[in-house]
């Protein structure tokens, strides 16, 4: 018996950055279509149970109804019975349930960097297949649902060593008062904005520092600022940080869909896994994690930033399907 989990965030791709850029909107009806294809791809290759996070749009129940009506549903869809908050708490709770359920061999996420960050706070060992349906997406990728479902089935079969097809990802750890306060998978940004507010951050003039686990000019968002000067790959055992709005060099970086800005930065500084960067605030501000303001800090507050490889296992979909093919997984 093979089971997978699906976390489809109904709020992904709907933040204020849609109003200040030219990003594509993936609405909840399209997310339902993607989930249908995930289920169909997975059940065709042996998945007999799919666990789904409950949500305000009832995506799990709608997928079940649509596939039953057309007589295509062969597996069981189980919408998790849990208290719903219609916020990030739902993702945290659903991810925790899936991580602690031994039957679930793979989790498929539909969302952006923020959604996957929330999942990563609960998931340590269950491999993730990530589909991009958010705004600025570095961690998840654009992926056809059918292929995602097939890959999830191959992972959930437990026939292949996950260390071959999945990478243990890096994360940024933020400590306050010697306690781990929060994490980011891609970037953490220190901002002069004093309130969390609408969470999404887009005003570069308020930025003081950027920390990254990875950076590339082909990414969208804060990590691209470092990426336009230095490329850091997910496999590299280090991250980096830069000071922003300085008198240093200037780069042209893609900050949002259709938005390429000139930004002044210092040279990137490498942070190895054993390095710590202490930041003592000169005034109040906030820290944005994977694009969303989450932490407020006060004047003269001490914050410690670290890079580690304590993130989730991230599935290389093409790789796992190649391994499956080489081992006869698709033969019937």
- Look at residue 331 and tell me if it is in a domain: no
What CATH number is given to the structural domain containing 30?
3.40.50
Give the closest residue to 38 by CA, choosing from 53, 50, 25, 26. Answer: 50
Q: Quick one: 94 and 179 in the same domain?
A: no
The whole domain housing 299 covers: 171-308
Could you give the 3-state DSSP secondary structure of residue 253? Answer: strand
Which of 26, 11, 233, 221 is closest to 115 using CA atoms? 11
Dihedral, 28, 30, 35, 37 alpha carbons, nearest 10: 170
Residue 179 is encoded by which pair of tokens? 């306690």
Same domain assignment for residues 280 and 203: yes
Is 63 inside a domain boundary? Answer: yes
Q: What is the model's pLDDT at position 183?
A: 98
Residue 58 in domain: yes
Residues 17, 111, single domain; the answer is yes
Q: Is residue 102 in some structural domain?
A: yes
Q: In the block, which residue shows the tokens 């308020």?
A: 206
Same domain, 211 and 284: yes
Q: Are residues 290 and 184 in the same domain?
A: yes
Domain-embedded: residue 332: no
The answer to whether 165 and 316 have CB atoms below 8 angstroms apart is yes
pLDDT at 301: 94
Asked if residue 312 lies in contact with residue 128, where contact means CB atoms within 8 angstroms, the answer is yes
Cα distance between residue 312 and residue 99, in whole Å: 11
Residues 14 and 153 in one domain: yes
Name 47's bridge partners. 2
- Residue 193 is predicted with a pLDDT of 84
Residue 245 CA to residue 266 CA, distance in Å, equals 8
pLDDT score for 137: 81
If asked whether residues 50 and 105 sit together in one domain, one would say yes
Counting as low any pLDDT under 70, the low residues of the chain are 13-23, 135-136, 197-202
Residues 43 and 187 in one domain: no
Residue 58 neighbours by CB under 8 Å, 6+ apart? none
CATH number at residue 292: 2.60.200.30
**Domain co-membership, 303 together with 322:** no
283 and 293 belong to one structural domain: yes
Helix (H, G, I), strand (E, B) or coil at 174: strand
Q: What does the chain come to in residues?
A: 332
Strand order in the sheet with 76-79: 76-79, 47-52, 2-8, 104-111, 128-132, 313-315, 166-168
User: What is the count of structural domains for the chain?
Assistant: 2
Are residues 14 and 107 located together in one domain of the fold?
yes
What interhelical angle do 88-99 and 113-120 show, nearest 10?
50
> Is residue 26 assigned to a domain?
yes
Look at residues 235, 133, 241 and name the one whose alpha carbon lies nearest to residue 187: 241
Nearest Cα neighbor of 6 from 111, 121, 158 is: 111
* pLDDT value of position 165: 98
Shared domain check, 322 and 295: no
Q: Where are the alpha helices (DSSP H) in the chain?
A: 28-43, 59-69, 88-99, 113-120, 145-156, 162-165, 223-227, 317-326
**pLDDT at res. 56:** 93
Identify whether 267 is part of a domain. yes
Give the whole-angstrom CA distance, residue 258 versus residue 281.
33
96 in a structural domain: yes
């Amino acid at each position: 018996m093979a089971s997978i989990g699906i976390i489809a965030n109904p709020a992904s791709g709907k933040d204020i950055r849609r109003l200040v850029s030219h990003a594509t909107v993936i609405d909840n009806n399209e997310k339902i279509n993607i989930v249908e294809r995930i289920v169909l791809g997975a059940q065709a290759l042996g998945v007999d149970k799919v666990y789904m996070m409950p949500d305000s749009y009832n995506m799990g129940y709608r997928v079940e109804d649509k596939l039953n009506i057309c007589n295509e549903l062969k597996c069981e869809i189980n919408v998790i019975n849990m208290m719903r908050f219609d916020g990030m708490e739902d993702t945290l709770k659903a991810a925790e349930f899936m991580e602690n359920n031994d039957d679930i061999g793979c989790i498929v996420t539909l969302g952006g960097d923020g959604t996957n960050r929330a999942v990563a706070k609960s998931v340590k060992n269950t491999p993730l297949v990530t589909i991009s349906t958010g705004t600025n997406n570095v961690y998840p990728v654009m992926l056809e649902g059918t292929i995602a479902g097939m890959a999830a089935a191959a992972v959930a079969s437990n026939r292949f060593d996950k260390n071959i097809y999945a990478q243990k990802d890096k994360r940024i750890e933020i400590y306050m008062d010697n306690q781990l306060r929060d994490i980011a998978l891609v970037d953490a940004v220190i901002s002069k904005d004093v309130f969390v507010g609408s969470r999404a951050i887009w005003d570069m003039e308020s930025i003081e520092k950027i920390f990254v686990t990875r950076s590339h000019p082909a990414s969208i968002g804060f990590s691209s600022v470092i990426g336009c000067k230095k490329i850091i790959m997910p496999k590299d055992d280090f991250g980096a940080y830069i000071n922003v709005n300085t008198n240093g060099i200037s780069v042209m970086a893609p900050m949002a869909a259709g938005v390429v800005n000139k930004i002044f930065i210092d040279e990137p500084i490498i942070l190895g896994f054993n390095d710590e960067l202490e930041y003592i605030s000169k005034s109040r501000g906030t820290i944005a994690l994977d694009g969303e303001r989450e932490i407020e800090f006060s004047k003269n507050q001490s914050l410690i930033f670290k890079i580690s490889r304590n993130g989730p296992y991230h599935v290389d979909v093409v790789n796992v399907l190649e391994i499956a093919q080489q081992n006869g997984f698709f033969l019937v």
